Amino acid sequence: MTLTEKIRDKARQLGFEQVGFSPAGPLARAAFFTRWLGLGFAGQMDYLARTLDKRTAPNRLMPGARTAICLGMNYFQESSPYPDPLGGRIACYARGDDYHDLIQHRLLTLWNWLQEITGGQAHGQGYTDTAPILERELAQQAGLGWQGKNTCLINQRQGSFFFLGEILLDLDLDLDQPVPERCGTCTRCLEACPTAALAAPHLLDARRCISYLTIELKGPIPRSLRPGMGNWIFGCDLCQQACPWNHRAVPSSEPAFQTRSGLEAPSLLHLLAMDQRAFTEQFRRSPVRRAKRRGLLRNVAVALGNSGSDRAVPALIKALGEEEPLVRGHAAWALGRLGGKQARAALNIQMGREQDTYVQSELRHALELL
C-alpha cells in the first residue's frame, strides 16, 4: 500500500468520507476570484482581499508545500416543515456543535499519525475554514466535487452538505484528477434564491446572500432585502435544498453535528427576549455565537416582521427598549411591516424619545409603512 493509499484509508477511519490529493501550487481560479473582489461582491469581507496572494496559491501560505490533502466531512441533517410562523430557521451546518473544533482535532490526529509513519520527515499544517485558502477550488482539483452554479462544492454521491478541511505538506503524493461540472442546464439554485444573490451561474453577490446578511454583515440589513429573508436567522440552505444532487444526501452520523434541542425551529419570541447570559449559555460551542447577540436579535426581528403574526407585536414593542440600536432599529421595521394600532402607537412614542439617528431613520420608515 502506497503512502497516499494509507493516508486515504486513515482519513476515512477518522470520519472524512471524502479524501483527495491536489498540487499545492497556484490555483486556476485565481483570476476569477480577483475579478469577483473587484466587482465588490465580497461586501464587508475585507479580509478576503488582504490575503489575496496566499489565497490564490497554497504554497505561499505554507512555503515548501507540494501537496494538499483535501478532506470532506458530511454534516447533513434532515429539516422538518416550519408550520409555526414564529419559528426561525438556522442553516443545517449551524444546528449542532461548532465544526471548527471537531475537524481541527481530526486533522491534528491525522497529522500526528502521518508524522509517525514518516518518521517525522514530513512538514505541514492543517486548516479548516480558518486560513486564507480557496478551499473549494483546491478540493475540486483533488476530485472531491465540482463547483456548482450556486458556488457550493457538489459531490456526485453525497451532494454539497459537507465541511472541508485540508493539510498542506511538503511531500509528493499521488494526485487525483479534477471532477468535471455536472450541473448541466439546471438552474434550480438560482431560481430558489429569494434575494437574487446568484447574479449568474457560478457568480455569487455575497451582499445579497442571506448567509452573508445574517452572519457576515455587522450593521443594518438593507431594507429592500429584509422581506426576502423570510424566517432565516442564521445562514441559509435554500440553494442547496433546491439542488437535485442533494436529493441523495444521507444524514450525518457524527454526534457533534446532530441538531441541538430547540434549534430545529427555535422560537423567535424566546430568542428576542434573550439577554447576554442566556445567549452565551444557549449558543456555547455553537457556530451561531459568531453573529453575537446583537446580530442574532437583529435577524430575529426581521424574521418576526416577515411572520405576518400579530403575536409578534408585543415582543417587538418591548424590543424598542433594547440597549442595542441595531436591534431597536430592526424591531421598528418589523412593527411597521406588521402594522396595527398597537404598533403605530408604540412607534410614535419611541419616535418622541429616540436619540440615535440610525434608529430614528428606521422609525420614520416604519411609520411610512403603516
Domain extents in the chain: 3-76+97-169, 188-369
pLDDT of residue 163: 97
Residue 332 has pLDDT above 80, yes or no: yes
Strand-pairing partners, residue 194, are none
pLDDT of residue 81: 74
CA distances from 23 to 51, 58, 81 (A): 20, 9, 43
Rounded distance, CA 310 to CA 304, Å?
10
pLDDT of residue 166: 97
Mean pLDDT of 330-358: 98
pLDDT tens-place string over residues 117-128: 999 989 999 999
Identified catalytic residue from 9, 46, 97, 129: 129
Per the model's pLDDT, the better-predicted residue between 53 and 232 turns out to be 232
pLDDT tens-place string over residues 198-213: 999 999 999 999 999 9
pLDDT of residue 356: 98
pTM for the model stands at: 0.96
Rounded distance, CA 71 to CA 63, Å?
21
- Counting residues of the chain whose pLDDT is more than 90, the rounded percentage is 93
Residue type for 188, please?
R
pLDDT band at 84 (very low <50, low <70, confident <90, very high): confident
Our answer to whether residue 97 is catalytic in this structure is no
∠ CA(86), CA(274), CA(323), 5° rounding? 110
Residue 153 CB contacts under 8 Å (≥ 6 apart), including other chains:
72, 136, 139, 140, 144, 145, 146, 147, 160, 162, 164
